[in-house]
Amino acid sequence: MSRALVTGIGQEPMPIIIGAPRSGTTLLRFMIESHPSIAIPPETGFLPYGAGLMFVPFAARKLLFKIVTSYPRSAPKWQDFCLDKQDFWNELQKIQPFDVSEGFRAFYRMYAQRQRKLRYGDKTPGYCKHIKSVARVLPEAHFIHIIRDGRDVALSLR
């Protein structure tokens, strides 16, 4: 059975690295991203908001664009992804009929293409509090939960 069929939706599994801060998620991100086929952007944080967008189909495209390009409001991370906003908007416009999951996949595909890679993943430790929401938006998500001894985490903070 192919890996795409295992997810049940025709998508390749998407690794999502989660865990407590200072647990080694960044190190694992760099290790996985060293593979020639997988790109993992800096922490995103916006996926849990996608579940709510699924209930507002008339405005989902604009809202998804706003969430992805301006999250978090206090200090947007869009510049960290090195993607063009207009290019992202154009990709969202191509999705007919619009689907929130496909909108997020468009973001990840763009990031992977910019890195000249075929596949993508995510590394956002805070998603460990939102596994159900993220899985609802991206059913192909396969979570990799890093657990580190709390004493080592405390030493890492020092």
Distance CA 13, CA 154 (A): 33
Q: What is the pLDDT of residues 54-96, one digit of tens each?
A: 888 789 999 999 999 999 988 889 999 999 999 999 999 999 9
Residue 17 near residue 29, CB atoms below 8 Å: yes
Residue-level pLDDT at 33:
95
pLDDT at 106 over 90: yes
Contacts of 67 (CB under 8 A, 6+ apart): 46, 49, 50, 53
Residue-level pLDDT at 9:
55
Distance CA 68, CA 121 (A): 16
pLDDT at 150 over 90: no
Alpha-carbon distances, residue 129 vs 8, 80, 133, 145 (angstroms):
24, 23, 9, 11
Q: What is the pLDDT of residues 5-40, one digit of tens each?
A: 344 456 899 999 999 888 999 999 999 999 999 999
Looking up tokens 């657990």 gives 147
